[in-house]
């Protein structure tokens, strides 16, 4: 099985069999994202995807987790996904978890009963990029949805019993809108009540619109301790139940982990410890992947 281009997956899918259902991202306009800039979006032919499954079966004796890539595989039509999920159950009966990237827009066009059907066929987790809850920042980063749509999409997944993992990006509002980003993001997450929250830190990559803005001085990046202050405001404002919170991605300055709400004070204490670290330079940091 040959993958087309670079394949991205969430950190928690490190040991999953990755199957490309789509190539690229159906949106591909976010100002900070370079992941799929070199790929023209398309949904792969179902027979080719099924072939990949059969070929993978020959190489792997035990596959417990399957991740459906690229960005936004959930955009495929109901019939396509039903056939794919059924095939996974037949070819990999030992598979315990199938997960997928889903953009807010592709979730919104799915009917509630379709999402419940996917869940009954083994779709266990949807990863949705929220990035920020601030309408103003969402517009600036060209996410293509507003906070109301993010909430509606997130709630649809939660209601279907598929687990929802959301990601947010520390520093995405820059210095100017750091507090707005933290407070508004917490409001959106409180309304969604996801199962998992993943917090990444903004990485500015060459070739993106954001890179140009940083170079022109239009966007001021946060310093490491400012990122932690932003994280603190975000966590302080979170009110979610039985939600696993992680900021252990390589992009983060300090690794945080806990289950909300029970570990909220502990997570805040972890952030406060990070704020005391002298090795967290107070320099502005310009990083790339």
Which residues lie near ligand SF4 (CB under 6 A)?
25, 27-30, 33, 35-36, 71, 103, 129
For residue 30, the minimal CB distance to ligand SF4 (Å) is 3
Minimal distance, residue 65 CB to ligand SF4, in Å: 21
In terms of CB distance, is 39 or 229 closer to ligand SF4? Answer: 39
The residue among 36 and 234 lying less far from ligand SF4, judged by its C-beta, is 36
> Closer CB to ligand SF4, residue 221 or residue 280?
221
Cβ neighbours for 263, distance < 8 A, ≥ 6 positions apart = 245
Alpha carbons 225 and 282: distance in angstroms, whole number: 7
In the complex with ligand SF4, the residue whose CB is nearer, 10 or 258, is 10
Bridge partner list, 197: 166, 245
Minimum distance from residue 136 beta carbon to ligand SF4 (Å): 17
Tell the smallest beta-carbon distance from residue 188 to ligand SF4 (Å).
Answer: 16
C-beta of 27 vs 44, nearer to ligand SF4: 27
Question: Shortest gap between Cβ of 207 and ligand SF4 (angstroms)?
Answer: 12
**Spatial distance between the Cα atoms of 171 and 285, rounded to a whole number of angstroms:** 11
């Amino acid at each position: 099985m040959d993958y087309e281009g670079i394949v991205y997956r969430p950190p928690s899918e490190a040991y999953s069999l990755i199957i490309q259902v789509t190539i690229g991202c159906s949106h591909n306009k976010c100002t900070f994202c370079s992941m799929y800039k070199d790929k023209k979006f398309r949904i792969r032919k179902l027979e080719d995807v099924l072939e990949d499954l059969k070929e993978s079966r020959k190489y792997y004796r035990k596959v417990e987790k399957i991740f459906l890539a690229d960005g936004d595989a959930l955009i495929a039509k109901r019939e396509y996904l039903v056939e794919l999920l059924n095939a996974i159950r037949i070819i990999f009966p030992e598979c315990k978890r199938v997960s997928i990237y889903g953009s807010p827009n592709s979730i919104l066009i799915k009917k509630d009963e379709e999402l419940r059907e996917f869940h009954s066929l083994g779709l266990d987790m949807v990863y949705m990029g929220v990035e920020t809850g601030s309408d103003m920042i969402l517009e600036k980063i060209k996410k293509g949805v507003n906070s109301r749509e993010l909430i509606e999409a997130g709630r649809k997944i939660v209601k279907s019993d598929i687990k929802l993992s959301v990601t947010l990006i520390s520093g995405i509002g820059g210095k100017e809108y750091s507090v707005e980003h933290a407070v508004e993001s917490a409001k959106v997450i409180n309304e969604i009540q996801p199962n998992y929250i993943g917090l990444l830190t903004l990485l500015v990559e060459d070739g993106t619109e954001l890179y140009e803005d940083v170079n022109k001085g239009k966007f001021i990046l946060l310093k490491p301790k400012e990122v932690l202050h932003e994280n603190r405001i975000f966590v302080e404002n979170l009110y979610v139940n039985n939600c696993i919170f992680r900021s252990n991605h390589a992009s983060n300055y300090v690794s945080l982990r806990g289950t909300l709400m029970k570990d909220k004070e502990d997570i805040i204490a972890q952030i406060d410890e990070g704020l005391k670290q002298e090795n967290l330079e107070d320099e502005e940091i310009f990083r790339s992947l």
